[in-house]
Every structure is written in C-alpha cells, then in structure tokens.
C-alpha cells in the first residue's frame, strides 16, 4: 500500500510542549495524521499522511448511528541512544483485523498496518518525549463513513492513525489502585463484542465507572454477563492475582480483550519461573482468598499503564486489602522488566522490539 506524504509548511506546524512532566494523557496531538480510505469494489485507496485536523463526514455516516468502529492502542519510545522503537506492533495489527472481522469491516494487511504507522512515526519523531515514564501513544482507528440510514456494513471506511505524546496514564503514577467489583451492570456476554476493541464496549462501561468513582474507587472490575459471578477484566486492563508464585487470570473465552500486555506478562512470568493458571475465578472465592492471605498480590495490565498494582477491592459494601495494600514484588518486577525492555534499559530476548529509526 502506497502512502503519500502531503507537504506541511513549517508555518502550519503546532508549537510543541515545553514541559514533559505536564503532558498528561491523550490531550496533545502531533502535526500529522495518516488517512487511508476503503471503498467497495476498490479496496484500500488514497493513502496519505496529511496535516492533523478534522475530516469531512456526512451526518448520516453509519458510524454515528450504528457504531461500526474499531481502534487500537500502542506506543513508540525514544531510547537514550536516539533510537525510536515500537513494542509488538504486529500483534496490534492482528487484533485490529480480528476486531474488523467481528464488526463486518474490511481487514488491512498486517504489513501495511505496521508500515503506515512506522512512516508516520518517523515523520513525527521530534514529538516523542524522552523523560522517564513518557512515550508517544499511537491510536489507529477505523470508522464507517457511508451516508445511509440503514443497518448494514458500510461501503466506505476511513482508516486513520493519530499520535499523542503522553505521560503516565494514572496521575498518581505507579501506586496501588482501588477497584470496585461491579455486579449490577455487565460489560459483555458470550457471543457479543467483548473481545473486539470497539468503542461501544467502552461507552457501555462509563456509567459503572462513574458510580465507582463516586464511591472512592479508581476502576471497575467486571463480572461475567451470565451468572455475574466470575471475574473478567477491569475497564482498561486485564486482571491478575498472585497466589504466591502462581499467577491466575481469566481465560480468553470471547468476552474479554486479548491484551498484548497480558500476553507479554504471561510470557515474562513463565520466564521468571512463575506458574500460570488461566481459569475462571469466583468473586466469592476471590474475597475469601484475599481475607485468608492466599492472594499475595493483584495487578492489572494494559498498553496505557503497562502494569498497575491493585491494593484494595470492593464488592457489595465490603472491602478487602490485598496483602499489605502496597506494591508486591512480582508486580514490581513485571513492571520494571516490561518498561525496561520498552525503553531499551533491558535487552529484549523475546523479539518484541521493532526499531523504526
């Protein structure tokens, strides 16, 4: 797939940030974006890197009415030697296509997905921060833009990629979070779109998330949508519990996201000599095991925050503190190792790093 680079005069470029400690997350965007269109009968056409900004979309565009939309999230890092790298982008390409198939959208060749991102990142490399804990967040997305009021797969799509220099996802940094187990609302059910990375899943989570924050919690931990009994995932993370040297997490059965950081955590945990169990976890057993001291650590994983320690869980008015409520040894080791690989401080023995520049 050929991607044209449209000229961007220096006078139209944005002023860059001056204080990397104040970046926040997802509020600043770079000068350029990637845009490719898919049209029925033509396939992928008119790929270009252009000035970042609004694009024209009809008010009847299918995405606005029937939510044909998917997205991904990955990061670029600037190493101390000046190298620019991506972390496992081919897995994002694979998951993006899995989401596309579930929502009846066109897939994009994995090599084109990755190559387009690399081309855009190279052009915008001056935007990549280098301070501890910072990175360039990459958001690929696809939306249905055919203007028609009718429930059907679109005949016209935009695939686009935007970039955002970011700091830590959680403002408090690497500190234990408080999670509320949600048993009234559900995120996903078997046969639904739970394992697709589509906006509707996140919109569906907002109400429970807001109610949890009113009660003093940071995030929601979802139960299964049938029995409302088994642990699934947190709003933006896959969830793990350590029973000593055994890591337990929910299995991939179609209702939770196949996290790339999740896969990396499991791979790394095995190398560290830890045991892995992917099994269903009853919420009542979970709280009993926390009270009995069997669960020694809890943490989540995701692209934005990498690894996040969990110090306290709440369920039906009861709270349970995990161990001493602090950051556990396994959690700290996984975080340090993953971020070390991503930032070039630790050698990558897994083949996860892809050098861009």
Query: What's the CATH number for 177-343?
Result: 3.20.10.10
H or E element in which residue 284 lies: helix 283-291
User: How far apart are the C-alpha atoms of 185 and 258, rounded to whole Å?
Assistant: 21
Task: Check if CATH label 3.20.20.70 holds for domain 3-166.
Answer: no
The mean predicted confidence, pLDDT, of the chain is: 96
pLDDT classification of 236: cutoffs 50, 70, 90: confident
| β-pair type (318-321, 306-315) | antiparallel
Q: At what angle do helices 329-343 and 260-271 cross, to 10 degrees?
A: 110
What digits encode the pLDDT tens for the residues 88-125?
A: 999 999 999 999 999 999 999 999 999 999 999 999 99
Does residue 236 contact residue 302 with C-beta atoms inside 8 Å? yes
Average pLDDT value for residue range 148-159? 98
Domain with CATH 3.30.470.10 in the chain: 3-166
Torsion of CA 286, 288, 289, 292, to 10 degrees: 160
Domain with CATH 3.20.10.10 in the chain: 177-343
């Amino acid at each position: 797939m050929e991607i044209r680079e449209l000229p961007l005069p220096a006078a139209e470029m944005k002023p860059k940030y001056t204080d990397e400690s104040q970046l926040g997350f997802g509020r600043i965007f770079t000068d350029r974006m990637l845009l490719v269109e898919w049209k029925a009968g033509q396939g992928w056409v008119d790929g270009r890197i252009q000035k970042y900004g609004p694009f024209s979309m009809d008010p009847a565009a299918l995405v606005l009415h029937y939510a044909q939309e998917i997205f991904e999230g990955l990061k670029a890092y600037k190493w101390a030697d000046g190298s620019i790298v991506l972390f496992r982008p081919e897995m994002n390409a694979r998951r993006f296509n899995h989401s596309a198939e579930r929502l009846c959208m066109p897939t994009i060749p994995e090599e084109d997905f990755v190559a387009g991102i690399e081309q855009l990142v190279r052009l915008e490399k001056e935007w990549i921060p280098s301070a501890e804990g910072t990175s360039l967040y990459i958001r690929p997305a696809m939306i249905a833009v055919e203007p028609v009021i009718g429930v059907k797969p679109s005949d016209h799509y935009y695939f686009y990629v935007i970039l955002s220099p970011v700091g830590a996802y959680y403002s408090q940094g690497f500190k234990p979070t408080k999670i509320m187990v949600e048993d009234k609302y559900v995120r996903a059910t078997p046969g639904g779109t739970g394992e697709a990375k589509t906006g509707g899943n996140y919109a569906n989570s907002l109400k429970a998330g807001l109610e949890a924050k009113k009660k003093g919690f940071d995030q929601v931990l979802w139960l299964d949508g049938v029995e409302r009994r088994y642990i699934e995932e947190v709003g933006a993370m896959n969830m793990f519990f350590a029973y000593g040297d055994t890591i337990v997490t929910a299995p991939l059965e179609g209702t939770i996201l196949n996290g790339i950081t999740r896969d990396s955590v499991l791979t790394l945990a095995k190398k560290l000599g830890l045991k892995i169990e992917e099994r269903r976890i009853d919420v009542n057993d979970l709280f009993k095991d926390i009270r009995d001291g069997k669960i020694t650590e809890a943490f989540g994983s995701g692209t934005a925050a990498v690894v996040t320690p969990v110090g306290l869980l709440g369920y039906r008015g009861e709270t349970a503190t995990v161990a001493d409520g602090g950051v556990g040894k396994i959690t700290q080791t996984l975080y340090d190792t993953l971020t070390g690989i991503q930032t070039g401080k630790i050698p990558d023995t897994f083949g996860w790093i892809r050098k861009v520049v």
